[in-house]
């Protein structure tokens, strides 16, 4: 019990007794109620619920939920911040890049955090579709370039490939 709580308990015993002796029982009851409420507020972190004639609070549960939400938001903030910082680190530097494997690991971690936060699979897919679409598109272009190189006599099949104007049907640009 902390110092404030000890003083409030002593006050809770002494003040109502003195008011009961020297004043009216009504004043004694009001003082006891007021000191009890002060004692409850002084120990909010230890209470699960508190009920008075005009006031009810479920404190411990609300505090736990708030801390859990803060932890989830902190995790998401870290997951989102990390790729931004990575990108800033290589931005403007010639011939430097973030390896695809590293990018996909970051996106996977963001997906996991979004799932923990209750995002639907569709919301997660929409949020991450750009990078996955880009990976699919890059792989298709690479395969088409290799096919074009292996089949120079069929160059008409690969029109628009060199300037990325060929419609490869990924649904992403």
The answer to pTM > 0.75 is no
Average pLDDT, the chain: 80
Largest distance between two CA atoms of the chain? 112
- Percentage of the chain beyond pLDDT 90 is 5
The DSSP-derived string for 11-33 is: HHHHHHHHHHHHS-HHHHHHHHH
φ, ψ for residue 162, nearest 5 deg: -65, -30
172 pLDDT more than 60: no
pLDDT mean over 109-135:
88
Instruction: Report d(CA 116, CA 72) in Å as an integer.
Output: 8
152-158 contacts: CB < 8 A, separation 24 or more?
Answer: none
User: Tens of pLDDT along 62-74?
Assistant: 677 788 888 888 8
* Mean pLDDT to the nearest integer, 134-150: 89
Residues 120-143, mean pLDDT to the nearest whole number: 89
Whether residue 51 has pLDDT greater than 80: no
Positions of E strands within 6-101? 50-52, 55-57
Is residue 114 within 8 Å of 96, Cβ to Cβ? no
Q: What is the mean pLDDT of residues 133-162?
A: 87
Confidence label for 59 from pLDDT (cuts 50, 70 and 90): low
Question: 144: closest CA among 119, 169, 170, 168?
Answer: 168
Taking alpha carbons only, the member of 107, 100, 88 closest to residue 138 is: 100
pLDDT of the residue at 44: 64
Q: Name the band, by pLDDT with cuts 50, 70 and 90, for residue 161.
A: confident
- Rounded Cα gap, residues 47 and 63, in angstroms: 10
Top mean pLDDT of 15-29, 53-67, 102-116 is at 102-116
Alpha helices, H only, the chain = 3-22, 25-42, 59-90, 100-116, 121-150
What confidence score (pLDDT) does residue 122 get?
Answer: 94
| Cβ neighbours around 52 below 10 Å, total | 11
Report the alpha-carbon distance of residue 134 to residue 170 in Å, rounded.
9
Q: What is the DSSP letter of 48?
A: S
């Amino acid at each position: 019990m902390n110092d404030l709580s000890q003083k409030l308990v002593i006050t809770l015993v002494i003040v109502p007794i003195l008011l009961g002796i020297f004043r009216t029982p009504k004043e004694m009851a009001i003082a006891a109620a007021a000191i009890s409420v002060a004692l409850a507020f002084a120990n909010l972190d230890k209470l699960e619920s508190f009920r008075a004639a005009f006031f009810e609070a479920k404190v411990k549960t609300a505090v736990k939920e708030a801390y859990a939400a803060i932890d989830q938001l902190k995790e998401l903030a870290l997951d989102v911040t990390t790729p931004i910082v990575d990108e800033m680190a290589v931005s403007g530097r010639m011939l430097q890049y973030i390896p695809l494997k590293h990018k996909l690991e970051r996106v996977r971690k963001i997906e996991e955090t979004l799932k923990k936060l209750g995002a639907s699979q569709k919301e997660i897919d929409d949020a991450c579709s750009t990078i996955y679409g880009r990976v699919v598109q890059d792989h298709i272009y690479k395969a088409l370039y290799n096919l074009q190189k292996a089949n120079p006599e069929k160059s008409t099949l690969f029109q628009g490939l060199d300037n990325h104007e060929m419609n490869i049907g990924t649904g992403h640009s």
